[in-house]
Amino acid sequence: MELDIQCEEMSPSRWAELLTTMKSCKTIRLDDCNLSSSNCKDLSSIINTNPFLTELKLNNNELGDAGVEYLCKGLLTPSCSLQKLWLQNCNLTSACCETLRSVLSAQPSLTELHVGDNRLGTAGVKVLCQGMMNPSCKLQKLQLEYCELTADIVEALNAALQSKPTLKELSLSNNTLGDTAVKQLCQGLVEASCNLELLHLENCGITSDSCMEISAVLRNKSSLMDLSVGDNKIGDSGLALLCQGLMHPSCKIQKLWLWDCDLTSASCKDLSRLISTKESLTEISLIDNNLRDSGMEMLCQALKDPKSKLQELWVRECGLTTACCKAVSSALSTNKHLKVLHIGENKLGDAGVELLCEGLMHPNCNIQSLWLGNCDLTAGCCATLATAMATKQCLTELDLSYNPLEDEGIRKICEALKKPSCNFV
């Protein structure tokens, strides 16, 4: 049984009612429920007495260090079977890390720890790394985004990585690591025995200087399927270095996020080669890069390659105009795998969307989700969009936010939604 409640103020009577339910739950999710340390006393008892509980999610509650101390008392009992613990944005500091270290050292059932958006600091996470190094720790996923980490954390992280072959996911986004630290981290990842599947390093102060080392991880860790280095100024030169690893035969990347990386159309030649030849790649985000129409046309040519298996393409806010829409339409009419296209925040205009719909209506096109928010659209293109909505049964999601469609355009869209052939959910 699952208990999944979000954004609910807990009165004493409501809390007492839920506690009875929690005694037999396998999953408890109570995000944004205004919980405090006093609630954690009760939750500790639930953890101790409910042998079925495997997931506890308490994000965005003011638990504080005192609350985590209470939780850990339950987590340290022999009867605890918890596997996944989410404590994101719970007002935690380094003061609670010694207790969490004890849990990591003593509780082999715990495989996921999500403590991002807490002021743990480098000192606190160093303590967590000590717990990870205990042979009893079987952690597979560690999320440390927005934890106020600095370059000094890397030595402790690498030591933990060396001793933790079970680790599959590591998220360090939004910490001021810098190039030197990221290079050291990548060297540690190459040497570590863990089969890392996910590495997130968004907004970590990375430039092109780190990209050769990240490329080495891609070459040497065939297990790595999800890489995010968005919001780092790697530029075209950094992307070229990354592609050396991405194109290596041993690389099996599936999801690649490169949003806001200072890329231009010059990167699109390498990206096109990647899309057209790397059959494992199913999702790529290039949001907020200045690709322009010429770059998008190169990407579209790659999408038409039979070897391309891309399912999701995110090119929002990439400086695109009507001029690239014929190429996009041609790609849509050729590629049978693409299911999600985010192309909003570009000045496509009505004429551009009319062209897109030609490809959208082709029998080969299997698009399920199309995002066209803030694309300078008016009521003039709504009749064509309405036809696509009513006849393209695979299409279930269409975003038209921030376009001046006015009443006339909205009426046409609503008429399409009423038709039985429209499969929008």
Give percent above pLDDT 90 in the chain: 94
Q: Tell me the pLDDT tens digit for each residue of 170-211.
A: 999 999 999 999 999 999 999 988 899 999 999 999 999 999
- What is the rounded distance in angstroms from the CA atom of residue 40 to the CA atom of residue 92? 14
- What is the rounded distance in angstroms from the CA atom of residue 314 to the CA atom of residue 301? 16
Strand ranges in 160-275 using DSSP code E only, listed in sequence order: 169-171, 198-200, 226-228, 255-257
Average pLDDT, the chain: 96
Q: Check: CATH 3.40.50.300 for 1-148?
A: no
Q: How confident is the model at residue 362 (pLDDT cuts 50, 70, 90)?
A: very high
User: What six digits make up the tokens of 239?
Assistant: 């992307």
> 147-180 burial string, b = 16+ CB within 10 Å, else e?
bbbebebbebbbbbbebbebbbbbbbbbbebbbe
pLDDT at 425 exceeding the cut of 80? no
Q: Decide which of 293 and 194 is more confident.
A: 293
Please state the rounded mean pLDDT for residues 361-369: 96
pLDDT of residue 10: 87
Q: Tell me the pLDDT tens digit for each residue of 294-310.
A: 999 999 999 999 999 99
Q: Tell me the pLDDT tens digit for each residue of 372-392.
A: 999 999 999 999 999 999 999
Q: How many CA atoms lie within 13 A of 97 on its CB side?
A: 22
Q: Tell me the pLDDT tens digit for each residue of 46-61.
A: 999 999 999 999 999 9
Which residue is it, tokens 């079925």?
Answer: 52
Q: Tell me the pLDDT tens digit for each residue of 87-122.
A: 999 999 999 999 999 999 999 999 999 999 999 999
Give the start-to-end residue ranges of the domains of the chain. 1-148
Q: 191: how many CB neighbours lie within 10 A of its CB?
A: 11
Angle at 388 between CA 387 and CA 391, to 5 degrees: 80
Q: Tell me the pLDDT tens digit for each residue of 219-242.
A: 999 999 999 999 999 999 999 999
Q: How confident is the model at residue 72 (pLDDT cuts 50, 70, 90)?
A: very high
